[in-house]
Structures are given as C-alpha cells and as structure tokens.
Amino acid sequence: MKRLSILFQILLLALTISAIQDRTQKYKLNYIDNSHEINYHQKKNENYKQDHLFLSKIKEDTDSCYSVVFDAGSTGTQYEVFQWNCDQVLIEDQKINIQSIKCSKDKQPISNYQNNPEGLIAIFEQKFKEIKEILPEEKLSETDIYLGATEGMRQLLQEKQVAIINQIVTIFQNSGFRFQDSSKARVITGNQEGIFLWIGVNNMIQQGSKIQDILNQEAITTIDIGGKSSQIAYLKNIEDVKKNDSQFEYQFSSNQKYVFLVNSEKLGFNHAKTEILKQEFIDQREQNNQQILYSSCYNQGYEGFEEDLNFKIIGQGDPEKCINLIRKFFKLVNCGYPKFKDCSEKSAQQQNILQTQNNKKIYVVENAMYARMAYGLRDSYTPQQLKNKAIKFCKKQYAQISQNEDIYTHNQCLQGLYVFSLQTDHYGIDPQQTIYSPSQINKWVPSWGIGMLLAEIFNKKCNLQEEKPICDSLQLLLSNL
C-alpha cells in the first residue's frame, strides 16, 4: 500500500476520527450517524467539475499555488496568504510544503457590522488590494479564498449572521479571486475551530515526523484562548474514555482506535473579563452606589472607563482577591485564595477537564501567548511561573508599567491571572506542567487557518476519488455540524 504524505497522514487521522458527532449521548461510542450521506453526494457532484479542472491544471503546473484564509474573530479579522508547489498536492509520498507569505490582522471584527453589512465592502476591498500586491497577477483568478467566522459571529442572532455572511459572499464573488461557492465563507462551530487548530499546530510541529509519532505519549493537546471562546482538542484511546469526559463532544469513526475529544466554551478572555468585572461591581454595590469599580484586577494607580460596562475602574492591585473572583467565575466556590493556593480541594462537581493529559505536550495560543510575553516569559513556561510573574506584575504601580503603554497594558494583570486559572483550575493542568505558548512554530504563527486550508485542499482531491470514509470525514468537518 502506498504511503501517503506525512501531512496527509496527519490530516486524515484527525479527519477520519472526527467523522461523527453524537450530541445526544456523548459517551455512547457505538452510534454511527449516516444522516450526512445525501449531503455528501450532493456536494461532491456540485464541486466535481470545478475541482477536476483545478486538479487537472495542477498536474501540469510546477509553479506555485496560492490560497487566502480569513479568520473573522471576535476581536478582529486576520487574513493569511499561503503558497506551495502545485504538483505536491497530487504526488504520493510527497510532503506538502506550505508557506505563509503574508499575515495581517485588524481590530475590526465583522460582527461589528451587524447593522451595516454594506460597510464591509470597503474593509475587504482594502484587504484584497493588499493581497493582490504580493501575488502574481496571472494567479489571482486561480487563488482560492476562504473565510471562517468564530464566536463573535456565533453569538449574533441568526438573521444577523446570515446578513453579514451573505454580504461577504457577494464581496468574495466579485473579488477577482477563485471563490468556489458560498460554503467557503461561513460561521464555523467552536468544535471545528478547535479541530482546525489541532491540525494546524500538528502540521507545524510534525514536519519531519511519521504518523506513529503522533500516537505515542508525546501526542499534543491544543488550547485556544480567544476573545470570546476557548477550545481544547486532543486524541485519546477509545478504551480510556470515561464518563468524566462527558463535557467533550466525541468525534470518531467506528473502525478507529482513537477518539478526537474537542470542547468549546464561552471562556475567551474578553468575555470572562466582562463577567468578572460585572460580578466585582455587584459585590461592591452596597458600599458604592456610584458608577465606579475599585477593581482588585487592575494595577494601583490605573483609572479608566469601560464603555461596555458603563462604569469607571480604579485599580487596587490585589491579585489574590482577583484570583478569587476568577475562581468564582469558574464556579469554584470552595477554592478560595490563599487557603487553597493550588485549588486542589474541589467538590465532586468541580472536576478538572484534563485529568489525564498532564505530561503530554500542551500548546496554548492567543491570550496565553500575549500574557507570557507581557511578563517576559519564554515560549515554554509552567503555570506556576506564570502565576508568580502575574502576581508580581499586578502589585506594581500602574506608572511603573505604563511607560511603554499600548491598548492592552491595563488588562495585562487580569489577563495573566485569568490564563493561569483557566489552565490550572478549569482545565486541570498541573501547575508544574510545561506549557508551550510560542509566537511562532517553525516560522509559523499558530492559528487554525492552516488546518482549515489543509482540509479544503484534500477535499478537492477527494472529489476525484472514491475513498469514501476519508472523504465523508472531510465533508463533515467542512460543513456546520
């Protein structure tokens, strides 16, 4: 049997075991859902002709192929331009060497345009102009563009989501790039976001590894701490799945030894910050009837107004009290600081999510990376080191840390404490466990975009093949489950 390319193996492993999502009985692993059978064949027939032309051209093309993935997040919109040798896609036993040649992010989430979708026209026209400046002109009409929108869009009313996505579809159709159909610009689920990140980070790390390397004790876990949501994803032997894993959505196929566990929650930093500050404000209301919050989670000397919450914040610089507020947000009511500094005594209902993942490599991206950078920590650190740095940082006067102030400086005390508590108190990571939170992995910026792109590339190939289990898995992952 011919060996598949290394990256293809990694992708197919993740996709094949993510074929079925059983929402009603999360830990009954013997149920196989075939409801997507009709949709799979309809989609395959619709795209067959376009993909056949695309891949036929690749067979003769030894030049570069390009794709653009838009990550429409809750705090801004990022695009990344990818390049690879076209002929690598179809050659067996050939690694696809995809390169990121441009990455840019703004502070304008598309969800902000819920009442003015037409305003997105000018935003994307500027982005397209930037992208076209770095691509060969003759390649523009062959360059695929994709968009995945995350939690900021998922929280909007359905009609608002539809209006924004419909506007983007129209914009993409008139962009001059190759936009195959409306499914290539969509709101993705939290689980898809987590799986795409897992695929992407594995692709970045395992550049020279074999598939069996992923299935040993070094198999990684990925955690994405975004603005409004957080995702965690990892592999687990089906035999080791227990009832206390019930907070995960199981995605698997019947002939696999491993199950893909993925969990998405509204635990992004911006969302948590809002809820934590609202609770602290309520707790003070009896003593303070003004629109002022004396917050323990901000450095002493800081004063600022939170427009979304409609009150002024005056920093108190009390990190221990702030940790208690964060644990209250996680509903860890019997876990007060400093009596239970490591939050080790919990009720039966307060189980850690990652009870068996310690000693496996854990990669945490987005806000975890920003927090450790703010404190001067290296790419790898332990939660204990992060906590110590955060406490020391929070006790500084704001004047000491505002010399190089940017728009994030005032949040860095709460951000570091929150990332620590999310890792240890909620996800159950050992405080001494090494966490990897690099700004780059083998010259890549960690994101889920590359995972989405790999899935799309191999889905094109599937439209010319009859590897039904693999192609069904791809189709399921690329549709909204």
458 touches 8 (CB < 8 A): yes
Global pTM reads: 0.82
Which residues neighbour 14 within 8 Å (Cβ) at sequence distance 6 or greater?
A: 195, 198, 199, 202, 260
Nearest 10 degrees: Cα torsion 449, 450, 456, 462? -160
Tell me which residue of 380, 399, 110, 407 sits closest to 415, measured CA to CA. Answer: 407
Q: What is the pLDDT of residue 438?
A: 92
Alpha helices per DSSP H over 89-244: 120-132, 151-154, 158-173, 190-205, 211-214
CB 233 within 8 A of CB 197: yes
How many angstroms separate the CA atoms of 333 and 311, rounded?
26
Question: Could you tell me where the beta strands, DSSP code E, fall in 40-76?
Answer: 64-72
49 and 267 Cβ atoms separated by less than 8 Å: no
pLDDT value for 344: 55
**Residue 446 carries which DSSP code?**
P
Q: State the burial class of residue 434 (Cβ atoms within 10 Å of its Cβ: 0-12, 13-18, 19+).
A: middle
pLDDT at res. 61: 54
- Quick one: angle between helices 367-374 and 383-394, nearest 10? 60
Given a cut of 60, whether residue 268 has pLDDT beyond it is yes
Higher pLDDT, 413 or 288: 413
Q: Burial, 3: exposed, middle or buried (Cβ in 10 Å; 0-12, 13-18, 19+)?
A: exposed
Sort 17 into a burial class: Cβ within 10 Å, 0-12 / 13-18 / 19+: buried
Structure tokens at 269: 């930093």
Residue range 140-193, pLDDT digits in tens: 999 999 999 999 999 999 999 999 999 999 999 999 999 988 889 999 999 889
CA distance 114 to 166: 12
Per-residue confidence band for 340, with pLDDT thresholds at 50, 70 and 90? low
The pLDDT mean for the chain works out to 78
Sheet of 362-366, strands arranged across: 20-21, 249-252, 258-265, 230-237, 221-225, 362-366, 435-436, 380-381
**Secondary structure element (H or E) that encloses residue 81, with its range:** strand 77-85
Distance of CA 181 to the CA centre of its chain: 24
- With vertex at residue 145, the alpha carbon angle to CA 140 and CA 148, rounded to the nearest 5 degrees, is 165
Torsion of Cα atoms, 124 then 125 then 127 then 133, to 10°: 160
User: Regarding predicted confidence, which is higher, 439 or 203?
Assistant: 439
Amino acid present at 89: V
Q: Once rounded to an integer, what is the mean pLDDT over residues 108-116?
A: 95
Residue 438: cis peptide before it, omega within 30 degrees of 0: no
> How confident is residue 473, by pLDDT bands cut at 50, 70 and 90?
low
Q: Is 254 exposed, middle or buried (0-12, 13-18, 19+ CB in 10 A)?
A: exposed
Q: Is the pLDDT of residue 308 over 60?
A: yes
Sole residue written with tokens 């990694």: 10
Strands 64-72 and 144-149: what pairing? parallel
Of 265 and 465, more confident: 265
Mean pLDDT, to the nearest integer, of 436-452? Answer: 87
pLDDT reading at 415 higher than 90:
yes
CA 84 to chain centre: 23
List, for residues 222-258, the tens digit of each pLDDT value: 999 999 999 998 877 777 766 556 566 655 443 456 6
Nearest to 162 by CA among 154, 173, 171: 154
Task: Please report the domains of the chain, with CATH numbers, ordered by start residue.
Answer: 6-201+443-477 (3.30.420.40), 269-436 (3.30.420.150)
For residue 188, the 8-state DSSP code is: P
CB atoms near residue 351 (< 10 Å): 12
Q: Which of 99, 371, 160, 346 is nearest to 244 (CA)?
A: 346
pLDDT tens by residue, 353-398: 665 455 578 999 999 999 999 999 999 999 999 999 999 999 999 9
Per-residue pLDDT, 243 = 54
